[in-house]
Amino acid sequence: MNQTLAIYPGTFDPLTNGHLSILNRSLKIFDRLIIAILINPKKTPLFSLEERIDMIREVLGDKENIEVDSFEGLLVDYAVQKGANVIVRGLRALSDFEFEFQLALMNRKLNRDVQSVFLMTDYKWFYTSSTIIKEAASLNGNISGLVPPIVCQRLKEKYGYKKA
């Protein structure tokens, strides 16, 4: 029996509850999922690649149907290398759609065998993003409930806050 394998790419800097929502919903559609962390030299992430991988693995535990990996270069090439033909992307606002639509069209031009699947975020994560969460955390804002507890703790440590 063929199992469907999908790739959920992103920087995950850091992993949010919105990401987890897309991830969990993806697993209701696909048998296996690779969380693929993009190594983008144009971005300076708050967390190192190793820190992001560790946090994601700690949050997910030992789920056999999820792999955490990283990649450089073209996503469609990575998908083919891993034996996947589906890319999962989460959408929040209309601005996400415009950007993701452009990416999907380029990916389709590069490889017509790799399909993009878009999942709308849950309404409660509509206005959250890793960038906004990091900004709030940097100013000692309460981000609990927006990220998994381990991520919340790591953000506090990264910004030098002491436990209350």
Number of domains in the chain: 1
pTM: predicted TM-score of the whole model, two decimal places: 0.90
Q: At 115, which helix (H) or strand (E)?
A: strand 115-120
Q: Residue 82 sits in a domain of what CATH number?
A: 3.40.50.620
Tokens 């639509």 correspond to: 101
What digits encode the pLDDT tens for the residues 12-35?
999 999 999 999 999 999 999 999
Does 67 fall in a domain?
yes
Active site residues: 19, 43, 92, 130
Q: For 106-119, what is the mean pLDDT?
A: 90
The C-alpha atoms of residue 50 and residue 37 are separated, in whole angstroms, by 10
Range of the domain at 55: 5-126
The C-alpha atoms of residue 160 and residue 89 are separated, in whole angstroms, by 32
Question: Given pLDDT bands bounded at 50, 70 and 90, which one contains residue 7?
Answer: very high
Q: Is the peptide bond before 14 cis (omega within 30 degrees of 0)?
A: yes
Does 81 fall in a domain?
yes
Does 99 fall in a domain?
yes
Q: Is the pLDDT of residue 5 over 60?
A: yes
Question: Given pLDDT bands bounded at 50, 70 and 90, which one contains residue 40?
Answer: confident
Does 12 fall in a domain?
yes
Does 153 fall in a domain?
no
What digits encode the pLDDT tens for the residues 45-87?
999 999 999 999 999 988 889 999 999 999 999 999 999 999 9
